[in-house]
Chain A
Amino acid sequence: MMRLGRTSYRYATTAAATAAVAALAFALVVDASFAEIAAGVAIFLFGMRAIETGFAAFAGGALETLLKRSTRGPWRSIVFGVVTTSITQSSGLVSVITISFLSAGLIDLAAGIGVVFGANLGTTSGAWLIAAFGLKVDIAAWAMPMLALGLVLTMHPARAAKGAGNILAGMGFLFLAISFMKEGFEVFHDGIDLSAIDTHGLQAVLLFVAFGALATVIMQSSHATLLLILTALASGQIGAEGAIALAIGANIGTTVTAAIGSLSANVDGKRLAAAHLFFNLVTGGIVIATLGPTVRAVAWLAARLGLGGDPTLELALFHTLFNGLGVLLLTPLIPRMVPVLQRLLPAPPEPGLKPRFLTPATEAFPETLRRALRQELIRLYDNAVEIMAHGLHLHRHVLFGPEPLETAVEKQTDLIVIDLDSQYAERVETLSAAILGAIVRARKTTPEEAELLRSYREACLGIVACVKETKHLRPDLTLYARHDNADIRAPYNALRCLIGNALRAIGQLRAEPAEHRDTLEMEALRVRFAQADPVASGELDTLLREGRITPRMGMSLMNDLRYTRSIVWALGDIGRILFGEAEATHSAAERALGLSDADISRLARGPQ
């Protein structure tokens, strides 16, 4: 039933995903402006990833030092935000970059909030520029040279140049994305007529706020909205109150840019986007509640500063005061905001296989800890076996079936598709880290206990190494296991058999009653490896000399033999530790009788 339920769920999710993709494809085909907006969103998210990758390349270097210095304490972070936004003229971009700093772990959340608050203040410089000079920077014009230069830099071998290239290309993508979105929404821009809206009463003010936010979301730029507001204000379409409400809305609208940016960011990025929204909602709320006195106060201050008479400069002044007020009010609250945001937006559980037996309760007592560690190691091993088997293109029913592997491998015609990196991350990484953590934390009361824990650590690291080495082996195995040239196919299939037989031997060892288990027998696998080693036997030299395999094939085989040897040796130890003698003295005696390399070579040569 459970199996059926899961299968139905899988079909339902696949069907839903297919339907969504089909609907998206249909919309992309029939509506050109939707296609442009969708392309804009996709390019935006792609740009975000490129910037994150770029900044990660600088982690630990000069950038980290500069960022750390510039964001030490909330006020420094604010100054950093003000300066960078004034230079780039985009608070959205600075928010997005700050989210990528956070995701890359270059700054902490409190510093990020400071930068975003500062960005809000810095963006008001744009209102001054528009109001004073009517200047509008066409950022899309910068996108192409940035992309071209960025791409060239990513091809550079130096890590810093690659990082700079990714950042540059990422920014180019962001600019390009904003331009795409603007073009896609041009129809909305053309249809806007502010004079048609009545500006009286709270309802109208809230409508203006919503309108300002919507326009900014649509155009992805508060500067564009401000330009619209200033034009309407200058032409007398709206009054000061309406313009202020629209400007508040524009500020709230910019948070959506950061929210889109936070979609592909980690949880800290989402917390930062939430802090950004909180800043604009609180500041906007205060100003809306005191709109009448605010308008009069701004007019009074503008007259004192010699700006009176120009409503656009008055609006620019309001914009600065509005954001300045928010910074002054909310900056002291940053240390309190951090824990609240962490509680409201908790970190998602780490992906991957979790420990089932290791808990604080089992870790409290040596006996339960030992038992739990062994059970977790066996779980880890079972997961690793499946990954390794599929990595070697061996189905488990073949691996643990009755047929000799040498015959089964030759018969098998299909190759198994598996992403070893994601399998490792999901099924090995988290669990192995938890096991090692518990071993490190454990109290070692006796030498025997210390020895047992040491052997468990060895098994854990061995399992991890086996999976990683299988990953290294897989590309050549995939290439040569079905190769037309039998002289390269045979040794590669022999490698698959060597590892497969080691896994099979451990399976047989587990199946035996504990008192009959002979872990020393596992050493026959090492002798078998030595017998099959074409380097030691000189067979590889012959194949190369006679031109039956290429030097490149020979080099691959030599490397892969090393991986195979390492896996076979590790599996021998893992089998002994997990399924052999648990009692310390007996276990030590087993180890004492282990075969040396010289013993193995002698046995491999056979009776003289």
Chain B
Amino acid sequence: MKTRKIIEVLDGLLGGERTKRTRRERAVQDLLEKLADKEEKILERLAGPLDADEIAHLNLKLQVNRAHQDKARAALDSWARTGETPPPEAG
């Protein structure tokens, strides 16, 4: 852990790509975890008593949430495979 941090700091001082990539990878990973938490909450709410409009509204949120999770996983997979940084404006 320490070695990784030292490499990151050195890379950062040299303005390196590696640090940027690692930070963004971690940011996407954090986002993925947040999205998974959100999905749990939506599913919990869907299990409760709701009217048709609320169900439709939450289902839409769920679909969008899952689409974002798919994108996050795809970005991380592609990155792991090629070693390239996903473009920031993708999508």
Contact = CB atoms under 8 A, between A and B. Distances in A.
B88 A586 contact: no
A593 B68 contact: yes
Residue in B34, B61, B64 whose Cβ sees the most chain A Cβ within 10 Å: B64
B72 interface: yes
A528 to B, nearest CB: 6
Interface in A574-608: 585-586, 588-596, 599, 603, 606-607
A524 interface: yes
B44 interface: no
Interface in B67-91: 67-68, 71-72, 75, 86-91
Given A520-B35, A524-B60, A596 B91 contact: yes
Interface residues of B, number: 28
Interface in B44-75: 53, 60-61, 63-65, 67-68, 71-72, 75
A186 interface: no
B68 A592 contact: no
A521 interface: yes
B63 A603 contact: yes
B38 interface: yes
Nearest to B20: A585
A607 B89 CA distance: 27
A527 interface: yes
A453 to B, nearest CB: 15
Contact of B28 (A404, A518, A589): A589
Interface in A504-554: 518, 520-521, 523-524, 527-528, 531
Contacts of A520: 31, 35, 64-65, 68
Contacts of A518: 34-35, 38
Contact of B27 (A521, A588, A599): A588
Contact of A592 (B38, B61, B67, B87): B87
B24 interface: yes
A543 B46 CA distance: 35
Contacts of A531: 60
A593 B91 contact: yes
Contact of A527 (B63, B71, B87, B91): B63
Interface of A: 404, 406, 518, 520-521, 523-524, 527-528, 531, 585-586, 588-596, 599, 603, 606-607
Interface of B: 20, 23-24, 26-28, 30-31, 34-35, 38, 53, 60-61, 63-65, 67-68, 71-72, 75, 86-91
